[in-house]
Amino acid sequence: MKTLPQDLNFVAEMGSRGYVNLVDDGYAGLFDPSEIRADTDDIACELAAAGIRHEQKPVPFDPRPLLIGESTYRQTAAAFEHLFPLLERGIDLFLQDGAVRRFFSFQPRHETLIRLGAHYTPRIQVCRYDFTLDQNGKPKIYELNTHCPAGAAFAVHFHRVTASSRIRARLEGLGVSQCSVELEEPNSFAAAMLASAERNHRSVANVAVLNSRYLTMQNELDLIADQFRALGVNAVRGYVEDLRYLGGRLVLGDLPIDLTYNKFDDSWGPDAYECAFSRTTGEVADYLEAYRSGAVLAVNSFPSMYLTEQKSMLAFLHSDLFAGHCTAQERKLIHDIVPETVIVRLASQAWLDEVARQRRDWVLKRSLDTRGRTLVIGRSVADAQWHQAMAAAAASEPGDDWILQRLAPPLHSRCDRADRQPEQVFTTLSCFLLTGRAAGLIVRSSTEEVTNVGRVGFCQAPIVVAP
């Protein structure tokens, strides 16, 4: 076992920045390489046995955690919780104000669903803010992820498989003490959804965990169903197209459904389906009627899935239109934790020309998209590619907005992973909010600036460290 060098005080560094990522080679003296390899192999087997997969592939996992100080975590969580009611306020304004709807200018297939509202609160039952931390440990939000954010059911397994690891034992020997967070408790996601149903005066006997026959996404759906079953609630998997609305009840086969968890992808461009979450509206007419009548609590609601999910919502938070509905303190919160975001369609040509010349300071992405599929990071591409992407965004079809967001760099490390050559590693964090309450984190890292676990990324365990 290597001993800790005297000049390597990661606790002091965490105290100054609020966090440290132990994959960085600067902390290589903490762990014996054979321990890292053994933990990596053991954890891979345990995660596979638990059914932890991302887009039908194993989830790569590095046993070295990201440490975040308790005060940094609590301050971040508080800021995120204070932002949450502003998102709900944005939904209210969209439903009430034609000027707000014109600001967004959504396609009819999205706007029609959003304007159905919801018969329960909050309309955003679960969301996942993806964010980075600056050099002072302050958060900057990339995305709100209020549709069907992945990872909430992974956190408890990441916590479980690392709790008995060699790496964790080494850290505990160095005095690292972990604070408990809700998301790492067994069945915490399902428990939060059931508690929300109770607050909305709804009883839940049967849950349908849904995807679409045409826009199918599978991530963690079995794990979510298992959480409900562990709490004594019947949970079934199904396609939204197979639901029927009979006698005032939503049913799947012969089973009445009280709560749905919706895991739908979207389509866009010239080949987009007529319906936002299926092929045609007719195929999901029964589900829409049950939703419209308030017969089911949907996680999430349509305003959550198609309004606050849009990255243009971040631009709305910064807009003069929204500022008139905020206090000075709320405007400061937005300024502090949401990087400047502008809808390309609403920007002046002079401003766009300036951004084109300053590509290293900006990121371009489609408003409604996931997994970094359309993300262009200005500093990572050549001038020609940036200008081409900007021109394509400016020429996009009505209702298919793109946004420009001021760059908030991900965390950066130099890392020697699994006996490979040292490489750059970029890390982002994600905070889950369950009915508006910050519940815990997941951490994703990658050798690319887009931290997509399905490409060349990997997950790490976050540890909220007690003082």
Written as six digits, the tokens of 442 are 């997941």
Is the pLDDT at 451 greater than 80, yes or no? no
Q: What is the pLDDT of residues 297-308, one digit of tens each?
A: 999 999 999 999
Which of 290, 310, 330 marks a domain boundary?
A: 310
- Mean pLDDT is highest, among 43-57, 117-131, 370-384, for 117-131
Is the pLDDT at 43 greater than 50, yes or no? yes
Residues 102, 226 within the same domain: yes
Written as six digits, the tokens of 89 are 């306020």
Residues 101, 201 within the same domain: yes
Q: Of 13-22, 158-167, 176-185, 303-312, where does mean pLDDT reach its minimum?
A: 13-22
Q: Is 243 domain-assigned?
A: yes
Residues 115, 203 within the same domain: yes
Considering the chain, what percentage of its residues have pLDDT values greater than 90?
Answer: 80
Phi, psi (degrees; rounded to nearest 5) at 43: -65, -40
Give the whole-angstrom CA distance, residue 262 versus residue 260.
Answer: 6
- Beta-carbon contacts of 69 under 8 Å, excluding residues fewer than 6 positions away, are 14, 15, 18, 19, 137, 464, 465, 467
Written as six digits, the tokens of 242 are 């197979």
Q: Is 18 domain-assigned?
A: no
Q: What is the pLDDT of residue 300?
A: 93
Is the pLDDT at 318 greater than 80, yes or no? yes
Is the pLDDT at 6 greater than 80, yes or no? no
Q: What is the pLDDT of residue 2?
A: 47
Residues 227, 300 within the same domain: yes
Q: What is the pLDDT of residue 409?
A: 95
pLDDT class for 172, splitting at 50, 70, 90?
very high
**Dihedral over alpha carbons 313, 315, 319, 321 (to 10 degrees):** -30
Q: What is the pLDDT of residues 275-285, one digit of tens each?
A: 999 999 999 99
Q: What is the pLDDT of residues 395-432, one digit of tens each?
A: 988 788 999 999 999 999 988 655 556 689 999 999 99
Q: What is the pLDDT of residues 70-126, one digit of tens each?
A: 999 999 999 999 999 999 999 999 999 999 999 999 999 999 999 999 999 999 999
Written as six digits, the tokens of 434 are 């369950």
pLDDT class for 4, splitting at 50, 70, 90?
very low
Residues 116, 239 within the same domain: yes
Q: Is 197 domain-assigned?
A: yes
Q: When comparing pLDDT for 267 and 315, which is higher?
A: 315
Mean pLDDT of 453-458: 78
Which of 310, 328, 349 marks a domain boundary?
A: 310
Residues 255, 369 within the same domain: no
Q: Is 381 domain-assigned?
A: yes
Residues 225, 296 within the same domain: yes
* Distance set, CA 213 to CA 3, 6, 151, 238 (Å): 55, 58, 22, 9
Which of 262, 295, 310 marks a domain boundary?
A: 310
Q: When comparing pLDDT for 59 and 55, which is higher?
A: 59
Q: What is the pLDDT of residue 73?
A: 97
Q: Is 318 domain-assigned?
A: no
Q: When comparing pLDDT for 54 and 87, which is higher?
A: 87
Residues 93, 240 within the same domain: yes
pLDDT class for 267, splitting at 50, 70, 90?
confident
Burial category of 237 from C-beta neighbours within 10 Å (exposed 0-12, middle 13-18, buried 19 and up) = middle
Mean pLDDT of 441-455: 85
Q: What is the pLDDT of residue 371?
A: 64
Nearest CA to 265 among 216, 336, 337, 316?
216
Residues 199, 243 within the same domain: yes
Residues 257, 299 within the same domain: yes
Residues 347, 238 within the same domain: no
Q: What is the pLDDT of residue 13?
A: 78
Q: What is the pLDDT of residue 7?
A: 38
Mean pLDDT of 364-379: 85
Q: Is 22 domain-assigned?
A: no
* Distance set, CA 4 to CA 166, 170, 368 (Å): 16, 11, 47
Mean pLDDT of the chain: 92
Is the pLDDT at 337 greater than 70, yes or no? yes
Task: Supply the range of the domain harboring residue 254.
Answer: 78-124+187-310
Is the pLDDT at 151 greater than 80, yes or no? yes
Q: What is the pLDDT of residue 9?
A: 65
Q: What is the pLDDT of residue 372?
A: 64
Q: Is 361 domain-assigned?
A: yes
Residues 289, 207 within the same domain: yes
Q: Give how many domains the chain has, as a whole number.
A: 2
Q: Is 163 domain-assigned?
A: no
CATH code, 394: 3.30.1490
CATH code, 272: 3.40.50
